[in-house]
Structure 1
C-alpha cells in the first residue's frame, strides 16, 4: 500500500495548500485502489486523496475496505483524514478497518483502528424506521 501511495502522490494537484496527499485502500478482496488530492480555486470543489481512492474502489465494485493508508509529503506530521473523509470512510469500512498515517520521509507513522479515529458516525441504521 505504501508503494502505491508513493506512486500516486506524485500526481497530486495542490497549487493552493502546497500539501500533496496520496492514499491507498485495501479492499476485502485484497485489491488496492489509489487516489491523490486534487485542489480547485473554488476550495469546496477540492477533493481529498482518501475519497478519490474510496470512490475508485466502490466504482469498481468493491464496497468493503479493510485498510487505508494516507501519505503526506510533510516532514513534520502524518496527516489525518478530514471529517468529511472520515464520514465517507465509515460507509465502506469493515468493523476492524485499520488506518495508517505516514509521511513521505517515513519519520512519522501511526496505525490505528478506524473506530478509534471516528467513533460516532451517521449510518444507514439511523435512517431505518420502526
Structure 2
C-alpha cells in the first residue's frame, strides 16, 4: 500500500469520527509532512455557532503542528461521500498555504477511493500573503 493509500484510509477512518450534527456533511482528512513517518488525520467538528466549526483539513494540520512545530506538508487527502468529490474550503486552503508549496498534491476522495488529484495552486492560485 502506498503512502497516499495509507493516508486515504486514515482520512476515511477519521471521517467516521466527524461531529456533523448540523450539516450532516462528514469529512475526513489526512496529511503527510516532510521528514516524518506518521500521518496526521482530522475530521470536521461542527458547532451551533458555525464560525466555531473546524474543518477536517485544518484539524489534521493543527494536530501535526501541535506534535511537530513547524511543518511542510507533503500532500493532503480529503475524503467525503459526495459525487463529485469536494475540494477544501477557502479557509482551509488559506491555512494549507502556510505549510505547503504551490505544487503540493491535494488528493480528493470519496468512500470508494481517490477520485481526483489537484495541485494546491490550482485550488488557490493567489493565497493571501505578506507583500514584499
1:87 aligned to 2:65?
no
1:55 aligned to 2:26?
no
* Alignment partner of 2:79 out of 64, 71, 87: 71
Task: Tell me which residue corresponds to 1:117.
Answer: 123
What SS does the corresponding residue of 1:94 show, helix, strand or coil?
coil
Unaligned runs of 5+ in 2: 1-6
Task: Tell me which residue corresponds to 1:105.
Answer: 112
* Larger strand percent: 1
What SS does the corresponding residue of 1:96 show, helix, strand or coil?
coil
Normalised by the length of structure 2, the TM-score is: 0.87
Q: Does the 8 A contact of 2:101 with 2:120 survive in 1?
A: no
Matched residues in 1 for 2:117 and 2:86: separation?
A: 12
Matched residues in 2 for 1:31 and 1:66: separation?
A: 12
Runs of 4+ in 1 over 3 A off after TM superposition: none
Of structures 1 and 2, the larger Rg is shown by: 1
Normalised by the length of structure 1, the TM-score is: 0.88
Aligned residues: 124
State which drifts further: 92-101 or 51-60.
Answer: 92-101
Q: Does the 8 A contact of 2:33 with 2:39 survive in 1?
A: yes
Unaligned runs of 5+ in 1: none
Superposed CA RMSD in Å reads 1.5
